[in-house]
Amino acid sequence: MNLLEIQSSVRQEGSVSRTLASKFIYHWQSHHPETHYHLRDVGQNVPTLITADWVAANVTPDEQKTDDQKAILAESEMLIAELLEADRIVLGVPMYNFGIPAHLKAYFDNVIRVGRTVDYNRDTASFSGLLTEKKALIISSRAGSYAPGTTAGAMDFCVPYLQFILNFLGIQDVEYVEVPYQGMGGEMQQQATETAIARLMELAKT
Ligand SMILES: Cc1cc2nc3c(=O)[nH]c(=O)nc-3n(C[C@H](O)[C@H](O)[C@H](O)COP(=O)(O)O)c2cc1C
């Protein structure tokens, strides 16, 4: 069992996403001691942004790729190999300006590649994700609360995007734990954090 944490908070000190992901993983490992854990910290080490040369290398058939093109894609290949090895994926994702951190978008731009993580069917003009048999958990901290179905929920371009992109990659089993009211202080933050931790402890058993 390989568990990959993809962490996208730019903060180390005081990061709610990091603290709650760590709590989940600690409890997960106590229930699943055979787990191999690996951290991909895109918040600290942002993946290289893709470029025109990257795009050209990506669409060049493997047998025609130059050494330079292989070098350009090396980071992407490494990130994909790591992702393919994972059975369980935990995403620590702060909401930044109603969306995901740019760091995480850079990660997805590197790992979403036809023939590697998704297939494209020309006849039906449709994609199918190759990351089947994997499960994902999104832990998303934010200052507000954006429960699905509420007025504020319509402003959440973070988790609906993540759910879509994980499904697009073939990961259908996606759990989501919202950690609202972070940084607001007081009873509401305390209560929301405790509720999120309790849910994560439940999920760690499954
Ligand atoms: C650059 C930036 C943008 C943010 N944008 C939002 C936002 O649009 N909505 C929101 O509810 N919180 C927003 N926040 C608050 C963070 O989501 C919240 O503090 C969260 O706990 C950060 O995650 P972390 O504690 O893991 O670092 C923002 C914070 C930062 C630093």
Distance 141 CA to ligand 1 centre (A): 7
CB distance 155 to ligand 1 below 6 Å: no
Q: In testing the pocket of ligand 1, which one of 9, 16, 41, 96 has its CB within 8 Å of the most ligand atoms?
A: 96
Residue type for 84, please?
Answer: L
**Overall pTM > 0.95:** yes
Distances (CA, A) of 189 to 154, 156, 159, 185: 21, 19, 20, 5
At the top level of CATH, the class of 2-205 is alpha beta
Interval 26-83: pLDDT, tens: 999 999 999 999 999 999 999 999 999 999 999 999 999 999 999 999 999 999 999 9
Rounded to the nearest whole angstrom, what is the distance from the C-alpha of residue 182 to the centroid of ligand 1? 8
Question: Would you list the domain boundaries of the chain?
Answer: 2-205
- What are the pLDDT digits (tens) for 144-162? 999 888 999 999 999 999 9
* Helix 67-85 vs helix 52-59: crossing angle, to nearest 10: 80
In whole angstroms, how far apart are CA 190 and each of 53, 137, 145, 184, 194?
A: 48, 22, 14, 10, 6
pLDDT for the residue numbered 148:
85
Q: Return d(Cα 83, Cα 67) in angstroms, integer.
A: 24
pLDDT > 90? residue 184 = no
pLDDT band at 200 (very low <50, low <70, confident <90, very high): very high
Structure tokens, 173: 């089993």
Tokens 């850079």, located at residue: 106
Question: What amino acid occupies position 117?
Answer: T
Instruction: Quick: pLDDT tens for 66-75.
Output: 999 999 999 9
Which ligand 1 atom is the nearest neighbour of the CA of 145? 11
